[in-house]
Structure 1
Amino acid sequence: MGRRGAMLAVVAAVLAAAAAGAAAESREAAAKGMYHALFNFGDSLADAGNLIQNGTPEFLATARLPYGQTYFGKATGRCSDGRLVIDHLAQEFGLPLLPPSKAKNASFAHGANFAITGATALDTPYFVAKGSATSSGTPWFRELKPFFCNSTQECKKFFAKALFVVGEFGGNDYNAPLFAGKGITEAYKFMPDVIQGISDGIEALIAEGAVDLIVPGVMPTGCFPVYLNMLDEPKDGYGERSGCVRRFNTFSWVHNAHLKAMLEKLRAKHPNVRIIYGDYYTPVIQFMLRPEKFGFAKQLPRACCGAPSTPERAAYNFNVTAKCGEPGATACADPTTHWSWDGIHLTEAAYRHIAKGWLYGPFADQPIIQSS
């Protein structure tokens, strides 16, 4: 390549970078002010402190450092080192971080976070006895409605400019039989009822006035150190490149397939409501297979914060007797190089990538922010 050709190549690269920067600024500008409020429902993937609003149990490791160390500098009840997907969404929309719905003297002018650690999609006596929440959180939602609006017309207008994040749900429902040692066959029996529970929650929110919703699927269960540490699979039971347990990932994939089919039915039933599928599964798989793309280290599924268990499973850095925040556990030097925070939940860095993927693609069946 001659001098002129090299110069043209440099100019082209500069123009391309400038165009990319302008496009990024344009889409971020489109996000600001798109919604006046956010409402979030879910479990520990989205809990911003509801579990600790009535006091912090001494045994609750997630309520002390190193949880929260990256962004907040203190534990906030979030099961991560920093912000969650809902936090990244709020900031992208130019909104304050959502207060937990159980918070005292909080401002709910821009919505609320109803998620709570341990929430399930099934509202059965079994789960109620265990202290779990229902799928939709609509009883709490209805209790707080006077903070948002005071008449049917006012509520309709307010909710029309709000985004409802419904989930993830299902993980804790399936954990009940899995952690009890009943096996994945038993967990499959829960699936139709879990999907129906999520559907009922969505319908309840639509009845309240929701017109924009994003409904996340579950993550690939077989990639998480909490499961990898307790399972003893044959060699061919693990993904050759990922190291994840195949049959558990298949289980998660089947749940997500049923969830998407259910959402299609709801879209047909409610043509004036936008219902988006939020993908947790694909990004986590990509974190494993293409870690360098996201700034993560190439390694087997490994918790940033934890402790090794048996020598043959030390690489997972997960020990049920020394979980993150408990004596014997330590956090890695740089959580941005890990996607798994504590072997169960994700790091702030991973949640940021997922939030961006929901907002602009490709981690949603339609991006929240539509390109013009």
Structure 2
Amino acid sequence: MTITNRNWMTIVSVFVISISLFLIPCDASRHHKPKINTIYQFGDSLSDTGNFIHEKNIGKSQMYTCNYPYGETFFGKPSGRACDGRLIIDYLPQALGLPLLNPYLVKKASFKHGVSFAVSGATALNTSLLSDRGIYAYYTYSSLDVQVEWFKTHLKSLGMIKDCNLLDDYSASKRLDKALFIVGEIGASDYASALIDERTPKEIMDLVPLVIQKIKETVGKLIELGATRLIIPGDFPNGCVPAVLTQSVSNALTELRTTYPHAVVLYADYYTSFFNLIKNADHLGFEKQNLLKACCGTGGAYNFDLFNICGDRRSGIPFKVCSNPDRRVSWDGIHLTQKAYSLMAEEIIRNLFPKLK
């Protein structure tokens, strides 16, 4: 595989520019708290609280999240999160008075109040389907289907499911009626992998309806397993045509709501808020001159090198860390800072939590 300079810059654009925030910070305690005692998270590195570093995956050499300065802002050490501190999924349970979600692959961890099944680099589509299209899964085989199987295994451990069928529909629904399911964001790794493997723009665009269909099928499966309250975050701007993505997602959610009228299925629009961020960066406390520049990286116009990412010490090239991550949107050129994620979480808490009643 070769990556041309043009593709390299495109990849940089996908990850550095594909940044989306919600905007106005406020105290979560002022908002109505829905009666939720459990959270289940599915997705990729935007919500992985440590699964990637605990699985026997194909990308072990890329486990830069195990290294300093990841986790420095909040945890004081790497936590397996692709961030300087907390992710969106860390703020949501906090607003509900719940503990942070443990990663599913830490078997001795407590899952009393939920689990994160998300894995960094996870794709929405099965790796076999991607392989048939000439697209390689670079970091993990733990696609969305794998994460759903983990969830089923978790339900079995609770005595709620047997042989993929609910033991007691009423009992299961009662135990999940206070659970919040967050499916995504996921799909970015599908498109990024296709880009790295030099698929054509049409081939990448052809993945969009497949990814959306997979997310729709997954949400349906979760509802059939007992989920009644779900949030489906949209994708960041990533080079795909916004109109196609927006219309497709809208249609998918409408179909889900019609099929499962007893479930609350909400959409978190990460895409639109990106443009609000650009417009209001100064007011949000971000350095406008460094808006697209990674806090941690190895130099260049964006302080980013795809082959020498923050925390990856294999090349021996030292990486630079900005003095105040809270003044930056991008943490490592791929993922966002804790400050950025906190604003995104606040929008969910403010606008979506009241609708989960």
Distance in 2 between residues matched to 1:25 and 1:308, nearest whole Å = 37
Map of 2:35 onto structure 1: 34
Match of 2:106, SS?
coil
Is 1:368 the counterpart of 2:349 in the alignment? no
Equivalent residues of 1:288, 1:301 under 8 A apart: no
Is 1:210 the counterpart of 2:211 in the alignment? no
RMSD: 2.4
| Alignment deviations for residues 59-85 of structure 1 (CA, whole Å, 9 cap, x no partner) | 421221111111111111111111111
Q: Which of residues 71, 77, 88 in structure 1 aligns to 2:80?
A: 77
Is 1:307 the counterpart of 2:317 in the alignment? no
* Residues 93 and 25 of structure 1, relative CA distance in 2, 3 Å threshold: closer
Q: Which of residues 126, 143, 159 in structure 1 aligns to 2:176?
A: 159
Deviation for aligned residue 1:175? 1.2
Deviates more, 1:265-274 or 1:47-56: 47-56
| Alignment deviations for residues 7-39 of structure 1 (CA, whole Å, 9 cap, x no partner) | xxxxxxxxxxxxxx9x957634x32x6211000
The one-letter amino acid paired with 1:176 is S
Deviation for aligned residue 1:322? 2.3
| Alignment deviations for residues 133-187 of structure 1 (CA, whole Å, 9 cap, x no partner) | 2325210001111444545233211211010000111111111221222242221
Distance in 2 between residues matched to 1:133 and 1:323, nearest whole Å = 22
Deviation for aligned residue 1:89? 0.4
The one-letter amino acid paired with 1:275 is V
Trace 1:255-294 onto structure 2 (pairs within 5 A).
255-294=245-284
| Alignment deviations for residues 334-372 of structure 1 (CA, whole Å, 9 cap, x no partner) | 0111111111111111111011111113xxxxx222499
Unmatched segments (≥5 aa) in structure 1: 1-20, 222-247, 362-366
Distance in 1 between residues matched to 2:27 and 2:82, nearest whole Å = 29
Q: Number of matched residues?
A: 312
Q: TM-score, normalised by structure 2?
A: 0.81
Larger radius of gyration: 1
Map of 1:121 onto structure 2: 124
The one-letter amino acid paired with 2:322 is C
Q: Which of residues 167, 192, 195 in structure 2 aligns to 1:175?
A: 192
Match of 2:227, SS?
coil
Map of 2:304 onto structure 1: 318
Q: Which of residues 330, 334, 342 in structure 2 aligns to 1:352?
A: 342
* Residues 115 and 258 of structure 1, relative CA distance in 2, 3 Å threshold: same
Of structures 1 and 2, the one with the larger relative CO (CA 8 A, separation 6+) is 2
Distance in 1 between residues matched to 2:286 and 2:112, nearest whole Å = 37
Q: TM-score, normalised by structure 1?
A: 0.78
Is 1:330 the counterpart of 2:340 in the alignment? no
Distance in 2 between residues matched to 1:183 and 1:335, nearest whole Å = 36
Map of 1:18 onto structure 2: none
Distance in 1 between residues matched to 2:72 and 2:200, nearest whole Å = 36
| Alignment deviations for residues 253-295 of structure 1 (CA, whole Å, 9 cap, x no partner) | 5323311221111111111100000122123322222102321
Distance in 2 between residues matched to 1:45 and 1:27, nearest whole Å = 26
Distance in 1 between residues matched to 2:104 and 2:190, nearest whole Å = 22
Is 1:95 the counterpart of 2:98 in the alignment? yes
Is 1:106 the counterpart of 2:109 in the alignment? yes
* Residues 291 and 253 of structure 1, relative CA distance in 2, 3 Å threshold: farther
* Residues 370 and 208 of structure 1, relative CA distance in 2, 3 Å threshold: closer
* Residues 257 and 342 of structure 1, relative CA distance in 2, 3 Å threshold: farther
Is 1:48 the counterpart of 2:65 in the alignment? no
* Residues 65 and 26 of structure 1, relative CA distance in 2, 3 Å threshold: closer
Q: Tell me the percent identity.
A: 37
Map of 2:4 onto structure 1: none
